[in-house]
Structure 1
Amino acid sequence: MTIRVLLADDQEMIRASLRIILEDQPDITVVAEAGDGVEAIEQARRTRPDVCLVDVQMPRLDGIEVARALADAPPRVVMVTTFDLDEYVYGALRCGAAGFVLKDAGPVLLVEAVRAAYAGDALISPSITLRLLRRLADGGTRAEARPLARPLTTRELDIVQAVARGRTNQEIADELFISLSTVKGHVAGVQAKLGARNRVEIAAWAWESRMMATG
């Protein structure tokens, strides 16, 4: 299957660079581009891509509003930005974004983020993840974690912590010595208990619940 991608960035040169990086991959094709947030939503609804790469700061509507508008639509939104400010990261998480990647993270991470989003996973630039974990563990400002209708099992807690560290399903399987299908089943179960739309929301819950330790 070819992953169909929409690029949304107000800088034409950035879109051209992203297109070159993505279309160099045999399993990815760019089906549409947009120069602002309103156009991004219109193009996403018209072309129905699998993944939208959306810049945070754009004219008319910013990337966070785009992610909010497309939260219940087929495309999965990955935020791509120069800025790693916490307010942007949290805004993206709250709107159901399936990833947050810095533009200077390099082409490999960008491609991984697209493939992860397409597979139902999520990827956040490691530098952002580590900083957020440290900030929350040190008592930074945070939202209250949502209550659970049913408690998580010990294994599900292991899964949550791994997801919050940015691990993929395969990495979790390798670390916990369980099958890939078992990991997927646990992740689905955790999402159901948390009412989370994706892995990024699982990670956000872990941070807000102070489950994570830094070191």
Structure 2
Amino acid sequence: MNKLILSAAALALMAGAATADTIRMGTEGAYPPYNFIDDDGEVAGFEREVGDKLCEIAELECEWVTNEWDTIIPNLVSGNYDTIIAGMSITAERDEVIDFTQDYYPPTASAYAALSADVDLEGGVIAGQTSTIQAGYVAETGATLVEYATLDDTIAAVQNGEVDAVFADKDALVPFVEENGFMFVGDDIPLGGGIGVGVRESDTELKAKLNAAIDAMKADGSLNELLIKYFGEETTTY
């Protein structure tokens, strides 16, 4: 009987350890090619591959969770998942609420895209995704900002004539420029300090493990391979 009790206790301890190493990776699932839902209903894209590799290197069990962008930070803080890996730029304002790893995507440009080259970027109506640094930027210009829940919604707004242009991460806009008749308008705008994994401020051990894994991916070239795979040969790499 004692042996059975000890065995049960040992199994319970092992299960607890496994649970402690299960990390819920929070993403939007609506921002291709960073993250999206594939035909099988699974999270896919650049950040799925990066996240899975980080967990492999850090010897963590990972589960993927999707959440709407505009509540993605509050739901991290409240414990609905353990990380944000969703194309989130590192900014001082966000860093006051959560913590970030080092960047796994270098600082890159944001851009305007429209269906015509003669749109008024300074006095026109510009679409931006809610709670993004791009929406914040437009709000400080002379243009009228209209916010939408997803990138796809901003694109649809331009196509429907609701707005004159969209302002977003340039890499996210490339497919629409190449395939949907959009064009880049005006100058590229550098914003943010690169893209990092968001974690709760109390999760210092998790942050350290992920930072070490990002270091490893930068050192062995695997992070650059994924950047080129999803964003092309011209993208900024490490």
> So what's the TM-score if we normalise by structure 2?
0.29
Q: Which structure shows the bigger proportion of residues in strand conformation?
A: 2
> So what's the TM-score if we normalise by structure 1?
0.31
Q: Which structure's CA Rg is the greater one?
A: 2
Higher relative contact order (CA 8 A, sep 6+): 2
